[in-house]
Amino acid sequence: MVAREKDTPLARKGRLVGLVIAGTMLIWLAVQMLGPRLGLPPRFVFLFDFAALAAFFWAMVVVYQMWQVRQDEKK
């Protein structure tokens, strides 16, 4: 029962990371496709590029933290 209680926050964090990655990718693709059609300036489109990079970096940091927790549980 104790292991299951520890997995709940990790599972919740994992779902959040998955949603952030999928949502970031969908928004980024939409901006890349619609940006030129709507006449958005390139620097506005680059802003979304940097926001996507920041979101992916955050996701990698959280996944690394989750991995560290799992490694500590094995010891």
Q: What is the pLDDT of residues 6-34, one digit of tens each?
A: 668 889 999 999 999 999 999 999 999 99
The SS3 of residue 52 is helix
Residue 1: strand, helix, or coil: coil
pLDDT digits (tens, 9 = 90+) for 41-53: 989 889 999 999 9
Q: pTM of this prediction?
A: 0.83
Cβ neighbours of 24 (radius 10 Å): 19
Chain mean position to CA 67 = 15
